[in-house]
Amino acid sequence: MTQKQKSPTQLREHYLQTLGIVQYIPKDLADEVMVDNSVAPEADNAEIKEIPQKNNEKTTIDKSAVQAVRTDDAEVPLALKFVFWQPTDQLLIATTTEEQLPDGQQVNLLAKIVAAIDNQLSGLPQFDVITWPPHPSMQSGEQEVREFTATLIKSRLAAKSTKLLLVLGQSAENWLFSKQQRSACDQGLLAIDSEVTAIIAPSLEQMLEKPQLKRDTWQIICRYLNKIALKANL
């Protein structure tokens, strides 16, 4: 069974297993999930076929040529890197990066943002990095990435008693939320469900380049804190 043939439930289980967080699957799905571990690591690679020639000789198609044709005719493989911080059980932070991981200046700025959200916090834990694709043999089209990130964010939120998800940058917003969710964002705030709210802010790099964006982010945080205070007084 190739990855294309896996059901949505099997894909969710496969991604969770890849992330090392299979324990967060609901019990009622446990009997339904069946992961086919017999697929070889290179099962998704292009098949090498022999084509008979007119002189009845056989020649083997070069594998790189097959992959080049596939790149031209199909989606270009995607490579993404997600970075997560979990300062408290109730706060999860997510962003994306291309090459370099967040540097000291960016981490210091994030620490100040976190302190603005919760003044009891004075620092940040070590971040976690999750890459797509998790291993080279996995397909890397947009559909596969969105299935993976949907599983990733749900499992991260379920792992702790998360109340606030801070998403930094347009790339993280695009990949961690569906189009429908993004359209429901109201002035930087998105209600994921009755318990979890997302703050969608510019990336750390953008805020350092354009200080005005720091003030914009602070205003979003203020709206969130006011919303929480109002809810607590009801």
pLDDT band at residue 103 under the 50/70/90 scheme: very high
What CATH number should be reported for the domain whose range is 80-233?
3.40.470.10
> Tens digit of pLDDT for each residue in 177-207?
999 999 999 999 999 999 999 999 999 999 9
Taking the C-alpha atoms of residue 51 and residue 71, their distance in angstroms, rounded to an integer, is 21
Q: Where in the chain is the domain with CATH 3.40.470.10?
A: 80-233
> Tens digit of pLDDT for each residue in 209-231?
999 999 999 999 999 999 999 88
The pLDDT score that the predictor gives to residue 137 is: 78
Residue count (the chain): 234
pLDDT band at residue 99 under the 50/70/90 scheme: confident
- Residue 152: is its pLDDT beyond 50? yes
- Residue 105: is its pLDDT beyond 70? yes
